[in-house]
Amino acid sequence: MRVRGITLSRAQLQTAKTRAEHAGLAPRVTFALEDYRRTTGQFDRIVSIGMFEHVGRAHYDEYFQMIAARLAENGVALLHTIGRADGPGATNPWIDRYVFPGGYTPALSEMLPAIERAGLYVTDIEVWRLHYALTLRAWRTRFEEKIAEVRAMFDERFCRMWRFYLAASEAAFVHGGHVVFQIQLARRQDAAPLTRRYLEQAGNAARQ
């Protein structure tokens, strides 16, 4: 198996390369500083994590058409994105200014029409509801444990802002209708197993 990862972050690119080398995976895993719209070739599996929130509503058709073009005939794609369970909305101005400029959290009703227009099948949708709230709570706990180190790296203003961001984001998942969507996509109806039992089987194999 060979894996190719792309990113627009130079820091993320370097971190990914370093970790692959340390894990002894460098011969099989490559990374590139590349816009997804410039990617060529076809792939058996496509995984998009934490990126769709930055695509922008005006580019949803382009995004899913690119997945359809790059996905092998019997391939499977997975889109992992923060989303809204309560329908389309707007990005909080504070978040837009200080944390995710230009970011947007999509609703299923905004994504599914573009998926249909791209000619892709939705073969599964999994919704993580309070799971990410627990993740954010754990991040906030670890942040507070290392607060002195963070303050030394940045300043007190950054610490206050980051604390507010983590707490507000946790609240959004508990009370504000935010969830995480995992949407499985394919070009053919029979590209993915009919049930999720294969996930359990893969997990058991990994633990053995």
Write down the domain spans for the chain.
1-34, 35-196
DSSP assignment, residue 166? H
| In the predicted structure, residue 203 carries a pLDDT above the cut 80 | no
User: For residue 68, what pLDDT is reported?
Assistant: 98
Cβ-based neighbour number of residue 62 at 10 Å = 14
Q: Domain 35-196 has what CATH class? A: alpha beta
For 6-46, the pLDDT digits (tens) are 999 999 999 999 999 999 998 899 999 999 999 999 999 99
Helix, strand, coil % in the chain, rounded to nearest 5: 50, 25, 25
Query: Chain-centre distance of CA 100, in angstroms?
Result: 14
Number of helices (H) and strands (E), helices first, in the chain?
8, 6
In angstroms, the CA 150 to CA 19 distance is 23
pTM comes to 0.90
In angstroms, the CA 107 to CA 57 distance is 10
What confidence category does residue 198 fall into, taking pLDDT thresholds of 50, 70 and 90? confident
User: For residue 40, what pLDDT is reported?
Assistant: 95
53, burial (CB in 10 Å: exposed 0-12, middle 13-18, buried 19+): middle
| In the predicted structure, residue 208 carries a pLDDT above the cut 80 | no
For 74-133, the pLDDT digits (tens) are 999 999 999 999 999 999 999 999 999 999 999 999 999 999 999 999 999 999 999 999
> What does the pLDDT average to over 39-61?
96
User: For residue 169, what pLDDT is reported?
Assistant: 96
54, burial (CB in 10 Å: exposed 0-12, middle 13-18, buried 19+): middle
User: For residue 87, what pLDDT is reported?
Assistant: 94
